[in-house]
Amino acid sequence: MTSAALSKSGLARATGADRSTVSLILSSDDGRLPNAQFAAECASALGVSCDWLLGLTDRRERSADVLQVAMRIEEAARAPSDKSIYRWHEEARGYKIRHVPATLPDMLKSEAVLHFEYGDFLGRTSDQAIADMRDRLAYLRAPDTDYEIAMPIDALESFAAGEGYWRGLTPEERRAQLERLARLTEELYPSLRLYLFDRKKVFSAPVTIFGPLQAAVYVGRFYLAFRERRQVMELTRHFDGLVREADFEARHTPRFIEDLVVSG
């Protein structure tokens, strides 16, 4: 009542109850509980949940407020590093970051691939995309970086073959990208670790987990951003499961990519 700036009389007026009823409920020592309607009206007036009011939970927030705090929908820019992603990376400096990319990891893409993906018609110029990529690569080179990436094996195989989404990239551009990916994953190991999993055994939507602070699931135009600790922990366990099930551990990934270059 104090936090809601309500007196007993004020609560009585807000709920339509007699002041004597409010006083009786608040001062009762016999474990007497209010009826459901009165409890709901009190909770609404006080801005708390019924469960908290009845002593059934430690969380004061109402269900709608809990959901709003726990998950937000944020617009996703079609670029390697939009403002939200940049901010979340900066907030998570010093923590392990876990990432499942939508295609290839943006910070490891070649300029040719960035030009291919981020044309001017997408709202950001490809030159801006390249600048963003360089910023992210500098982030990976920082001494306190701990960055894990997990992605499907077939995503790399499809890229190497120029299939589907990647149709239109020349063989030379694909080869240069694979060589760059192999070089960087070897050069930046163990600060950066890229694991490859079989999508027939395990699956993941694109997601980035920023230490214990936040997780963001990419759904196209938006991120579903989670900050509630339990949700972040569940998504962390999901990612760690991808790593455990990976067919190629991070130290073996550069060799696998080199083999794709040779076979291509």
Bridging pattern class, strands 192-197 and 147-152: parallel
> Between 2.40.70, 3.30.870, 3.10.310, 3.90.550, what CATH number should domain 71-263 receive?
3.30.870
Q: What pLDDT, on a 0 to 100 scale, did the predictor assign at position 59?
A: 56
Q: What pLDDT, on a 0 to 100 scale, did the predictor assign at position 58?
A: 58
CATH superfamily for domain 8-60: lambda repressor-like DNA-binding domains (1.10.260.40)
Contacts of 213 (CB under 8 A, 6+ apart): 88, 91, 92, 95, 227, 232
Q: Where in the chain is the domain with CATH 3.30.870?
A: 71-263
Whether the predicted model's global pTM rises above the 0.85 cut = no
Q: Where in the chain is the domain with CATH 1.10.260.40?
A: 8-60
Distance CA 81, CA 107 (A): 9
Q: What pLDDT, on a 0 to 100 scale, did the predictor assign at position 94?
A: 93
* Inter-helix orientation angle 83-91/126-141, to 10°: 10
Q: What pLDDT, on a 0 to 100 scale, did the predictor assign at position 4?
A: 53
Residue stretches of the chain with pLDDT short of 50: 121
Helix (H) or strand (E) holding 264: none
Q: What pLDDT, on a 0 to 100 scale, did the predictor assign at position 40?
A: 74
pLDDT tens-digit series, residues 105-153: 989 999 899 888 877 545 556 677 677 778 888 889 998 899 999 999 9
CA triplet 210, 119, 129: central angle to 5 degrees? 35
